[in-house]
Structure formats: C-alpha cells, structure tokens
Amino acid sequence: MTTKKTKEAQVLVITPGPNTADTAIAGSVARWVSEGKDVVYVVCTKGDKGIKGSKGKPADELGKMRKEEQLAAAKVLGVKEGIYLGFEAHFLEDTVEFRKEITRLIRKYKPETVVTCDPYPRYNLHTDARVTGQVVLTCTFPLARDPYSFPELLKEGLERHVVPEVLLWGTDQPNYYSNITDTFDKKMEAIECRASELPEGGAQSRQWGTRVERMRQRHMRAAEGQDFNLAEVFHKV
C-alpha cells in the first residue's frame, strides 16, 4: 500500500468485512456525506467465508463478488474511497502487522472521527468483529498518537495523529443517536447492492419488502425518546 499525499478524511470507517458497515451504519454514512464530509471505508477481510448467499461458490469467487458489492454500495452512499486489506475472513488476529496497517491509515487520513464495531458487547460471537474493534481502539490510542510506536511510519512521512472521537456500532451501551430519518431509503438502496444476500426475486420480492419493514421498525425503536423518527445508535468515546 502506498502512502502518497491524500486529502484528509473527516470520517474513517473501519469494518471487519465487506457489507458489514452497510447494515450497521449506512444511514449515518449517507448523512455525513450529505453534510459535505469525506468518508473513507477500510475493509479488513475478504468476506470469503460466509454461507448466506454463497450458492456453492468457491471462497475466492465469493470474496471477489462481495468486494464488488461493497464497491457498488459505497458508490450509492457517496463514500470517497475504499481500502481493502485482504485478510482472511474468520481468522483475523490482533497482530503487529494488523496494528501497523490500521495505525498507518489513521495517520494517513487524519480523521476527525473513527467509526468501527464495538468489541465489547456481551456475547459478541464473531471473531473478526471483536478483533477489528479491539485493534482499531488500540491504534486510535495510543499507537496513532505516539510517534515512536512505529518509527518506520515517520520515515514514510506519516506523523502522529490524535483522533478526537470514536463511534462504535453494535454496542449494548448506546450514548449517541444518529438521525437517519432522511437517509433510511439511501441505506436500503446500498444494502440492495448485496445481490449475493438478497432473497430469491431480489429487491422486488415480498421477502425483501418484509426485510425493509423490519429494518425500519428496528430504527424506529432505536430512536425512541429522540426528536426524530429513525436512528442508528453508537457508543461515542
């Protein structure tokens, strides 16, 4: 991966695998983009191990297909750039290599907000999600902040960066409610790009209509007590 001069991103979304962030936070991403913020996605794994929607495809073909779906969804949302680290799904580990790559990206894009999955909710059973959240928090503080954590990054021109804010999705301790009332339809349009996971008949099927309504009800419940109708929730650090 190169470290050429890149316009800084206000929001850096770091997700375990392709399409994971769309289900969790695509409404917020669409809103941030509409507010003029530059959003960059970092996808940690190839997403090559999922059963749902695989239809018997080999793992490498499935990973390639899901990357293409993620690119299409990101385009719908107006995401500025997508970075694919290519780690093997289901076997993501907290390694020095992984920490260094995430630290490099935080220093490169110098985000105001880092967004990732909460590694600590009770019974979070997906290893990739737990490890991603843990590594991102470690890299946000102290690794990206302390210049000599990876001194070789200084030779690449990547100075220390202090991240002011982290938003964690999938949390069981929400303290930040993001208004997606006006961007819910955009979220569902992005999720429609996941052809490998759509029910038979695609977005025109009755099953898809039921799924959309379930999603709307979920976001309505998340917004209870707020002065807007639909919300995605985070733990804000």
**Residue 40 bridge partners (DSSP):** 12, 81
Give the torsion through C-alpha atoms of 222, 20, 235, 103, to 10 deg: -160
Residue 227 domain flag: yes
Bridge partners of residue 179, in order along the sequence: 231
Given the structure tokens 């936070």, which residue do they identify?
25
Instruction: Report yes or no on 218 lying in a domain.
Output: yes
59: tokens are 């793992």
DSSP assignment of 182-202: TTHHHHHHHHTT-GGGSPTTG
Question: Is 5 part of any domain?
Answer: no
Name the domain count of the chain: 1
Q: What is the DSSP letter of 203?
A: G
Burial 51-74 (b: 16+ CB within 10 A, else e): eebbeeeeeeebbebbbebbbebb
**Given this model, what pLDDT does residue 202 score?**
62
Domain that holds residue 64: 11-236
> What local confidence, expressed as pLDDT, does residue 147 receive?
93
Residue tagged 């907290």 (tokens): 94
Residue ranges of the chain with per-residue pLDDT less than 50: 1-5
Where residue 84 sits, what CATH number does that domain have? 3.40.50.10320
- pLDDT at position 195, please? 80
Q: Whole-model pTM?
A: 0.92
At residue 80, the pLDDT reads 86
| 4: in domain | no
Per-residue model confidence (pLDDT) at position 55? 59
Q: Concatenated DSSP letters for 129-159?
A: HHHHHHHHHHIIIIITTSTTSSHHHHHTT--
Any domain includes 93: yes
| Mean pLDDT of the residues in the chain | 91
**pLDDT at 52 (0 to 100):** 59
Residue 203: per-residue pLDDT: 66
- Kindly state whether residue 34 falls inside one of the protein's structural domains: yes
User: Could you tell me if residue 6 is inside a domain?
Assistant: no
| 234 and 168 Cβ atoms separated by less than 8 Å | yes
Whether residue 156 lies inside any domain: the answer is yes
Distance CA 24, CA 19 (A): 9
